Structure 1
């Protein structure tokens, strides 16, 4: 019985990961093919997950992640913030710019941790909880690059705040997390210098969260 329950849990988690990878949703037939399960087995999984709020169905019958997943994600955010702060502090002090960890929430980027440098006369005020479309700003574009299987850093200017320069790198190697580490500054940033620092910081954060 325990083995059967464990197998059901593993299948449910795989199903949720598939839905997380595709914002268009998936049909039960598509899920059955990708999971290697029968359609009745997939329907049973969907019903259980839908009852818990972790899956929702649209008018065409396609399955999507439900809002119950957001509740779990918000519970994890304080842990992410705590784990990211040491890396962000080092980055902010070394670069002299506001450092931040941004995670994907659907099509938006959400800043869950922000650290300002202690020694600069002026820096960008960037609040935890700030939200913006993934297609705007270095942090969101780095997450989109991660979705596309690309690594390295992204540099932008003035996309989120006039006169502000941003550089960000995706956090690699964590299938359960779409995130980027970035810095933002009113002073110009040299991507050739700051970019590798961000890539190193993102890799260090990935190791600390693994």
Structure 2
């Protein structure tokens, strides 16, 4: 089972696909047992073999993840959209996963004005960016340098997306299966800081209420 999971993660890192020889080399195993694993995953639609003989992730993974995606959307889509509209900023739910910080749900203001967009699936860079600081303040209560962020409930950073951008990230409590998360508001108008903080606090309070954590 662990080898099958390792194989899925490996294919997720190689979107163009991998041959059975490449998979065997990366997983430090022989091809015969790997064919059996790949065959079982293909039967369930979790892996697909392309016309070039490469193996890629299959559409069955979408169905497998659909209940999780639907629940997340039910919990946060409304609050995020309202936050985006009220602030004129991109509103993103960021999850702390085994692959790092990932944008799980993203909403843009329903206006024609210019705004920052963070696509779903985006992996955030290392460094002291707002979402990482907000999540670290929850994950590492022993770190004294994060005490101020823990106390006020949010972190800020500037210039991380591109020059002139500004972001605020607010730690939020979701059901246990999602782990630690935060809501990030990203904008090209840092002069709106006070308004964004007010909107962000309201969004996480609304999400916490939906989750029964208020």
Fold agreement, TM-score > 0.5: yes
Maintained 8 Å contact 1:137/1:160:
no
Deviations 1:125-184 (A, max 9, x none): 211110114644212221111223425111110123332110110003754421101111
Deviations 1:162-207 (A, max 9, x none): 3211011000375442110111111214433322321221122122
Tell me which of 188, 196, 199 is aligned to 1:197.
199
- Distance across 1 between alignment mates of 2:160 and 2:205: 25
Q: Does 1:139 align with 2:141?
A: no
* Counterpart residue number, 1:127: 119
Maintained 8 Å contact 1:102/1:179:
yes
Tell me which of 182, 207, 210 is aligned to 2:209.
207
- Distance across 2 between alignment mates of 1:81 and 1:74: 12
Maintained 8 Å contact 2:130/2:168:
yes
TM-score normalised according to structure 2 size = 0.58
Q: Does 1:159 align with 2:160?
A: yes
- Distance across 2 between alignment mates of 1:51 and 1:130: 26
Alpha carbon RMSD of aligned pairs, Å? 3.0
Q: Does 1:170 align with 2:162?
A: no
* Counterpart residue number, 2:102: 110
- Distance across 2 between alignment mates of 1:116 and 1:180: 17
- Distance across 1 between alignment mates of 2:87 and 2:96: 24
| Unmatched 5+ stretches in structure 1 | 1-48, 54-70
Deviation at 1:79, TM superposition (A): 2.2
* Counterpart residue number, 1:93: 85
TM-score normalised according to structure 1 size = 0.59
| Aligned residue pairs, count | 146
